[in-house]
Structure 1
Amino acid sequence: MKNSTLGPPDSEAHELQRNLSNRHIQLIAIGGAIGTGLFMGSGKTISLAGPSIIFVYMIIGFMLFFVMRAMGELLLSNLKYKSFIDFSADLLGPWAGFFTGWTYWFCWIVTGIADVIAISAYSQFWFPDIPQWLPALSCVGLLLSLNLLTVKMFGELEFWFAMIKIVAICALVCTGLYMVVAAYQSPAGDVASLANLWNDGGMFPHGAMGFFAGFQIAIFAFAGIELVGTTAAETKNPERNLPRAINSIPLRIIVFYVFALIAIMAVTPWRDVVANKSPFVELFVLAGLPAAAGIINFVVLTSAASSANSGVFSTSRMLYGLAVDGDAPGKFKALSSRAVPSNGLIFSCVCLSAGALVIYLVPNMLDAFTLITTVSAILFMCVWSMILLSYLAYRKQREHLHRASKYRMPGGIFMSWACLVFFVAMLALLALEEDTRKALVFVPVWFVILGLAYRSMRQKKSEGVQLSYDAD
């Protein structure tokens, strides 16, 4: 089997080009860390966990920082690794590359469907009479057209999408701070104060079960944090830019998650936060900004479009890597004259369009969003676990590379196991809630399909090798 870590797919083919600059990588990393779940799901997580949701985001962010550091050390240990497909296949075996690549592809297809649902839901704000599937298909078509141009276009799109999210969250934090300092009083008589975080039932008003219930949507909010790892083959100066992007993750989590949630719950007591509404909108409305609903609606739309854009990009690169290794149809390793994997882009966008079908089958937007996001969260945890297992194999097989590394993972082996135990605990928590338990039934089906596909593909390759041997 030809391994993509060893060079180009063949002597005459193009290779992916390193056209993403430091500003692209930094904003892609930030955009990946600020998911649609923060805007769409924070109302539900606050209602489930109360102020303890702040600790939920901090714990998840802390654990995922070590996953990203493991990924960073592995990618920089061999610059021929184009993504985590390559190092998982190299360190764990061909089966790992197959399972990781296809699962990550499916992760982003499922996430993209959730984003399509979000886009449809928030488009109703301006266009209540149009069919719900129309905005979804329009967005997918637009992203496909732009991504077919160049990889730099993806970088530019993600740069500006991420910038909109950053400005919106910083504005929310500053507005909340001003309202607390000014002791703003709402029409209901509530006074903006940090004491709102602990005055009503303490930091854990629903006890341990409420705290644990907040993890499901919170984990989905971090889906895409590993996206910087799929850009490795197209990143200029990866030795400098990848560590800078990964090292800034803790600061991003504090600013964009913790400060934002503190601002929301300091101004609006957590019991008054409505599960199916965006608390971002409510805070700006209270601040007296007449256009708040429209502005935040635009921000949420761009956030969902940003996530879908990331999905379109990453799934096409996953299909390219899988095809190079012979684990996907050969047509997916063809690059356009602009060094873009166009066949993979088109196929992924066709699959994303399935979001319109989900909207038709599950008309309740919140139910559809919860189901899809839970499936996505489980699959992403599987991918993150494969990164950690690859790191453990790397430490066992290539300790000399670890000793020579200039970007070692802190905690190394111990933190790898700690993160793996954490992900197992998260799966157990998802089984406790009825609406998230449904998703646990769907995920094993995916792995059964993958197992059968892998077995079939290996048999065909073995037969092909045998025929070639017989012919000789």
Structure 2
Amino acid sequence: MVWRILLFYVGAMGVILAIFPWNEIEATGSPFVQIFSHVGIPSAANLLNFVVLTAALSAYNSALYSNGRILYGLSVQGNAPKFFGRLNSSGAPINAILFSTVFTLFTVVISYLDPEKVFLYFMALATISIIINWATILIVQLKFRKHKDKTGEPIVFKMPLHPISSYISLLFLVVVVVIMAFIPDLRFSLYIAPIWLLSLYIGFKLKTSAKKN
């Protein structure tokens, strides 16, 4: 996985920045398509557009399936409304999938209202979501390791350079958040994140209090 990320993500970005100025890359389309158009190969750009659209549809299908299954699993666990636990005759969580599909309409509306910045808006939301997820993973890992060290339980796979690597990763996430705060088109996600976390906390408290009662 590490080598794949270095090759297909970091490597691809390195190639792009080596042949195209970073401050000229637009946020309205794929940078790969822009590069082919810039070097005078429009046919390759059109072909790549087809590949990008196919990949986007595939990613959407995968995300829709995953989100539906997650809502279904949460419903079965009692952490989401029972409405999401309904299956159709094929065994698919139909209500969870339809609920997830409705949110796709918001992207259509935003694309219509502000087509030039819609990509940045959703990239900001995706970025802050990833930051929250990875920050949670790192914090849990630190607490997990502290508990293991205290109890003396053996650890099969140890985090390299623990705990320095975890703190460096957390610092990197903080730097990304600070950078986002200075970019107007990304800054709004920093306002949404606390509201989202607060709503999750309130939901958790309501659920635990209901169990006690």
When normalised by structure 1's length, the TM-score is 0.40
CA contact (8 A) 1:395 1:402 kept: no
Shift of 1:370: 1.3
The answer on whether the counterparts of 2:120 and 2:185 sit within 8 Å (CA) in structure 1 is yes
Identify the residue that residue 103 of structure 2 maps to in structure 1: 351
Paired residue for 1:262, among 10, 14, 30? 14
Note the 1:28-43 alignment, pairs <5 A.
none
Per-residue CA distance 1:104-153 (angstroms, 9 max, x = gap):
xxxxxxxxxxxxxxxxxxxxxxxxxxxxxxxxxxxxxxxxxxxxxxxxxx
- Report whether the alignment pairs 1:415 with 2:165: yes
> Structure 1 residue 337: deviation in Å?
6.1
Instruction: Go from structure 1 to structure 2 and tell me whether the alpha carbon gap of 1:454 and 1:272 turns closer, same or farther (over 3 Å shift).
Output: closer
Look up the match of 2:138. 388
Which of 119, 129, 134 is the aligned partner of 1:369? 119
**2:50 corresponding residue in structure 1:** 298
Q: What is the correspondence of 1:445-460 to structure 2 with a 5 Å cutoff? A: 445-460=195-210
Larger Rg: 1
One of 147, 157, 173 as aligned partner of 1:397: 147
Distance 1:260 1:337, change over 3 A: same
8 Å contact kept, 1:374–1:439:
yes
Q: Are residues 1:281 and 2:36 paired?
A: no
Q: CA deviation at 1:267?
A: 3.7
Task: Name the % identity.
Answer: 32
Change (3 A) 1:351 1:272: closer
The residue aligned with 2:176 is: 426
Instruction: Look up the equivalent residue of 1:377 and give its one-letter code.
Output: T
Once the two structures are TM-superposed, the CA of residue 300 in structure 1 deviates from its matched residue by 1.7
Unaligned runs of 5+ in 1: 1-247, 464-472
Q: Distance in 2 between matches of 1:393 and 1:324?
A: 28
Write the deviation string for residues 308-362 of structure 1: whole angstroms up to 9, x where unpaired. 22321332232233223321112434555665444322221222332223224xx
1:424 CA displacement: 1.9
1:295 Cα deviation after fit: 0.8
Residue 455 and residue 261 in structure 1: after superposition, are their counterparts in 2 closer, same or farther (change >3 A)? Answer: closer
Cα distance in 2, alignment partners of residues 458 and 374 from structure 1: 32
Secondary structure at the counterpart of residue 353 of structure 1: helix
Contact 1:332/1:341, CA 8 A, preserved across alignment:
yes
1:13-92 matched pairs, under 5 angstroms = none
The superposition leaves residues 386-429 of structure 1 with CA deviations (integer Å, 9 ceiling, x where unpaired) of 11222223223345797252x43323333222212221222122
Aligned length: 211
Amino acid aligned to 1:444: P
Would you say the 8 A contact 2:148–2:154 is kept in 1? no
Q: What is residue 68 of structure 2 aligned with on the other side?
A: 316
Q: Deviations over 1:138-191 (max 9, x none)?
A: xxxxxxxxxxxxxxxxxxxxxxxxxxxxxxxxxxxxxxxxxxxxxxxxxxxxxx
Shift in alpha-carbon separation, 1:429–1:266, aligned structure 2, 3 A: closer
In structure 2, the CA distance between the partners of 1:448 and 1:279, relative to structure 1 (3 Å rule), is closer
Contact 2:25 2:34 in 1 (8 A): no
Query: Normalising by the residue count of structure 2, what TM-score does the alignment of the two structures yield?
Result: 0.80
- 1:273–1:279: 8 Å Cα contact kept in structure 2? no
- In structure 2, the residue matched to 1:113 is none
- List 4+ stretches of structure 1 deviating above 6 A: none
Secondary structure of 2:116's aligned partner: helix
Structure 1 residues 339 and 260, CA gap change in structure 2 (3 angstroms):
same
Task: Measure the CA separation in 1 of the matches of 2:152 and 2:59.
Answer: 34
Q: 1:257-303, CA deviations, whole angstroms, 9 ceiling, x for partnerless residues? A: 233233334444x1784424533124334666452232111122123
The whole-number CA distance in structure 2 between the counterparts of 1:366 and 1:389 is: 37
Counterpart CA distance in 2 for 1:261 and 1:386 is 27
